[in-house]
A and B are shown apart, each in its own frame.
Chain A
């Protein structure tokens, strides 16, 4: 399963009411899907557990959009 598909499925689990088909990858993920800080943390926890990439708090600014998040995870997975 690609990182993109996996991240999509994680977000869909945390925000089950959201339709990611309508989400643009360059839009602020939290604003577009109305995710609060708890939702966002739950997404990152799932990414850490299922994709083995733990995103530190000081990198939150680098994963604001869906594209950024996927790119970050792909980059850090490959770096491991």
Chain B
């Protein structure tokens, strides 16, 4: 057996290139399956890239900082027990020419390739204005205390900017959502969930535990979606080259809004398994890393369905857009106390609007309706989640 090429992975449906910014291994290092070996900058920020094999690094073919197309060979590694040091790499695809970042013509009004991984200090008013005016805070020089960005800074930046391409992340989102709307025939279903039984159970449970062990309602929602998918696999998977491939596991992508604008969708692998405490810890972890940097390649490309919860933003319901190549997305709106009929009586209940958008090439409304109904049933027995 010959040596194997480690290639630039695709980290999203519309990712064509990635920028290698750091190697975390060197020739001679032994690597194991799942080990993070490099940091790659994409339109969605800095991503930790794992290797899904074990072996020894033989050669780093490219050095940071360099932008290359997806599929470009980045390094050579040797699998254990393979002594054929002089054999050619296992894959026959040519090494594509690399484009050093310095050779790319600078775009004065475009965001840098390296999406901000650290904090951009800005006053609350400045953030709101930036969102309203479409100003990238990473491009604004702050005049406030300690260099923080004020509302006046944002207004000046908005007035002074020339027409130019949107930020990298906005381009990625635009491309993915445009592709989704062009290629995926969406159908939409809405269903009102009575969350009261689940929340009463949750509150009682939280009262018995220290604050650090509290669960949030989103954990119950994600777990209910994951368990329901076990009986509705046609809603969990990918369409590739016109063919639906069900996901091997139930990997729920969680839509995470970034404070500087933008959206990432890290996957919670096997969200149907483990305890609720474990799921809560995982949600907290990916949420924190989504905002501060440090998401892994496997988390960006593995989701078989997405859950988006905009309830905390005050909207009643979400009509979401499927993230290609996935085939469905579940939305949750705000939890509100509303009148509800229970056993012939009108009672106040905490209700949530659940929505499903699904690919009509793969499933029909009947299946989608049964899926939402099952989520509803699961949330009525929270102790079994």
Contact = CB atoms under 8 A, between A and B. Distances in A.
B203 interface: yes
A54 B207 contact: no
B216 A19 contact: no
Question: Interface residue tally of chain A, by bracket?
Answer: 20 to 34
Nearest to B311: A37
Contacts of A54: 210-211
Contacts, number: 65
A34 B259 contact: yes
A26 interface: no
B125 interface: yes
B216 A38 contact: yes
Contacts of B126: 19, 22
Given A54-B210, A57-B206, A17 B287 contact: no
Nearest to B218: A37
Given A21-B145, A56-B207, A38 B124 contact: no
B144 A17 contact: no
Q: How large is the interface on B (under 10, 10 to 19, 20 to 34, 35 or more residues)?
A: 20 to 34
Nearest to B202: A57
Contacts of B148: 19, 21
A37 to B, nearest CB: 5
Given A41-B216, A54-B211, A22 B120 contact: no
A32 to B, nearest CB: 5
A23 interface: yes
B127 interface: yes
A34 B214 CA distance: 21
A36 B332 CA distance: 14
Interface in B203-228: 203, 206-207, 210-212, 214, 216-218
Contact of B211 (A19, A23, A37, A45): A45
B207 A17 contact: no
B121 A19 contact: yes
B144 A19 contact: yes
A48 B211 contact: yes
A36 B284 CA distance: 11
A16 interface: yes
Contacts of A17: 119-122, 127, 259-260
User: Which of A21, A22, A30, A32 has the most chain B CB atoms inside 10 A of its CB?
Assistant: A22
Q: 4 closest A-B pairs (Cβ-Cβ)?
A: A22-B123, A16-B119, A19-B123, A19-B148
20 contacts: A16-B119, A16-B292, A17-B127, A18-B127, A19-B122, A21-B144, A21-B145, A22-B124, A22-B126, A22-B150, A37-B218, A38-B216, A38-B218, A38-B283, A45-B212, A48-B212, A49-B212, A55-B211, A57-B203, A57-B207
